[in-house]
Structure 1
Amino acid sequence: MPIVVNKYLIGRRFVGIALWPFIVINNSFLKEDEVFINHEKIHLRQQAELLVIPFYIFYFTEYLFRVIQYRNLHQAYRNISFEREAYLNEEDLDYLKTRKLWSFFKYR
């Protein structure tokens, strides 16, 4: 999993993003943040499970649904099932070793 440092690729509002097969970050110090990197690795696993393109389709469809549901962009983002799985397990650095296939469904 290559890590790319480029502040122009992801915009000002984001510090990092998983774009299969890369993790793109806006500052090199984030390479040392194990929790942050684990969060993005969880997204890479989700993307692989859904064969990448369907992941993005489901992600943005659910985001739009959550925006309508919560009428708040940040709350909508935090309640996307993929994000819920990643945020709730990012501190468990062994999570990906025991994670079952399609685990994000538990976070709907």
Structure 2
Amino acid sequence: MFLIVAKYLIPKGYRGMAVFPFVIVKYGFDKANAVFVNHEKIHLRQQLELLVIPFFIWYFLEYLIRLLQYKNAETAYRNISFEREAYTKETDFNYLKNRSFFQFLHYIKVGNKQ
């Protein structure tokens, strides 16, 4: 994993993003935020499992489905299965050591709005 600070690469309203093998943060202080970095590391693992490009296709399509479902951009984003897994497990710093493959599928349930 390579951690990069690049303020202008991050979309408005977000602090960072993972694009295998990089974690890109908007602000330098987020490099020291263990919970934030762990959240992005979970996304790196998800991307690796799906061979990167299919991850982004799935992410975008699921976002569109959630947007139709919830009719709210923030709620749609928070309910993408990849985000649900990352937000749920971001404080568990041992999670990636024990995580089984395709664990994000456990978070795909429709109707459990976060």
On whether the aligned pair clears a TM of 0.5, the verdict is yes
Instruction: State how far apart, in whole Å, the 2-side matches of 1:11 and 1:49 are.
Output: 25
What one-letter code is carried by the residue in structure 2 that aligns with 1:70?
Y
Uncovered stretches (5+) of structure 1, i.e. residues with no partner: none
Q: Describe the superposition over 1:23-74 as per-residue Cα deviations: whole angstroms up to 9, x where unpaired.
A: 0001111011000000000000000000000000000000000000000000
Uncovered stretches (5+) of structure 2, i.e. residues with no partner: 109-114
Aligned to 1:60: 60
SS of equivalent to 2:8: coil
Instruction: State how far apart, in whole Å, the 2-side matches of 1:49 and 1:68 are.
Output: 27
SS of equivalent to 2:7: coil
Aligned to 1:73: 73
Aligned length: 108
* TM-score between the two structures when normalised by the length of structure 2: 0.93
* TM-score between the two structures when normalised by the length of structure 1: 0.98
List structure 1 runs of 4+ shifted beyond 4 angstroms.
Answer: none
Instruction: State how far apart, in whole Å, the 1-side matches of 2:11 and 2:62 are.
Output: 21
> 1:10: Cα distance to partner?
1.1
> 1:11: Cα distance to partner?
2.7
